[in-house]
Amino acid sequence: MAEVETKTNRGAKKKDVLAQHGVTEELALELMQDMLLYRRFEEKAEESYAIGKVGGFCHLHIGQEAGAAGVIKVLQSDDYVLSAYRSHTQAIAKGINPKAVMAELYGRVGGTSGGKGGSMHIFGSDVRFLGGHGIVGGQVPIATGVAWKIKYSGENTVCVCFMGDATVNQGGFHESLNMAALWELPVIYVVENNEYGMGTAFDRVSKTDISTRSLPFDIPSSSVNGQDVLSTYEHFRNLTEQVRAGGGPRLVELRTYRFRGHSMSDPVSGTYRSTEEVERHKEESDPIAILRDQLFAAAVLDQDTLGEMDARAKKIAAGAADFADESPVPEPEALYENVWAEPNSHGRLFFDSRKV
């Protein structure tokens, strides 16, 4: 006689999705809480920009939260992370207080760089988050240098370098991969392929897939669904172990999609993609909805608990905005702090070679 499938059996089978990825129930819930925080933080940043509290450029990570959560969750506290200018959530994931990140967006003293860096230059050396870089691909040679330092010093750490898909056409990207391969450096280059470099579809500027870009340098490459946080976590857990054990550099294409425009200066869809395309991705590949459905099916999470988790995330995001609002703006004299020059008697800056 065929075995009758009970409710308990069905629940056990559905929990296989966690076991399949080597993720405990506790960790899965942490990943959900993390992504909720990233979403609500970015929405609060979006709101603050709209009412004039955030100036300059502001690039939101909404829709790409699984990359920040799944990649950085596997790292040790002393591992390094560098990123491009869409880095608020990655900074929080690496351990920077959301209040300090929001205050930096506001240009306030309580920010990660005292309010002098802004949205594109989030930095936290104490947690080894080394930017936030505004120049496309500018962080890649720096990350390669960090990885060289790790190997030279004999550290048991790795360096993860996030970048956008447009970076792979930059010369510094190829030069860095060549050096990393030659010296077998402990660095993972992570390309967040959200399908568009600003307003240009990637397939309009490249005849080859991102995952093939490391082949000339004999660097192993891979591709992962960056909207599924469980798959992302599992992929990078295994990859990081290999690199930490001396396996040399890796290139990963993190396939993802942003639900907002390139920056706050352009609409949600702009003229380069349709509203229908964006809405389709929101419906089919929202990383928070994907994990929610997985955890609901596994009976690990219910709607009430999810609501409580979301409320916590909203409270932290609101608290970060309040902190930023209350933090003072930098004094004019702060312009002359932490620079390699000093003002002369005429108020102009002169280079001081003694500081080099």
- Both tokens of 242, joined, read 């290999």
Residue 15 pLDDT > 90, yes or no? Answer: no
**Sign of the alpha-carbon torsion through 160, 161, 164, 168:** negative
Q: Cβ(58)–Cβ(49) under 8 Å?
A: yes
Q: Phi/psi of residue 208, each to 5°? A: -120, 155
Query: Token pair for residue 191?
Result: 């390309």
Domains and CATH numbers, the chain: 15-328 (3.40.50.970)
What is the number of alpha carbons within 13 Å of residue 126 lying toward its C-beta? 7
Is the pLDDT score of 84 beyond 50?
Answer: yes
pLDDT recorded at residue 3: 43
pLDDT, average across residues 46-53: 95
Q: For 83, which DSSP code?
A: -
Per-residue pLDDT of 226-274, as tens digits, reads: 999 999 999 999 999 999 999 999 999 999 999 998 888 786 767 888 8
Mean local confidence (pLDDT), 8-37: 85
**Mean per-residue pLDDT over the chain, rounded:** 91
| Confidence (pLDDT) at 349 | 55
Average pLDDT of span 134-152? 97
- Find the mean pLDDT for residues 159-181: 96
Q: What pTM, to 2 d.p., does this model score?
A: 0.90
End-to-end CA distance of the chain: 82
DSSP state of 330: P
- CA separation for the pair 132, 207 (Å, rounded): 29
Instruction: Identify the band that residue 110 occupies on the pLDDT scale cut at 50, 70 and 90.
Output: very high
SS3 content of the chain, % helix, strand, coil (to 5): 50, 10, 35
pLDDT band at 9 (very low <50, low <70, confident <90, very high): low
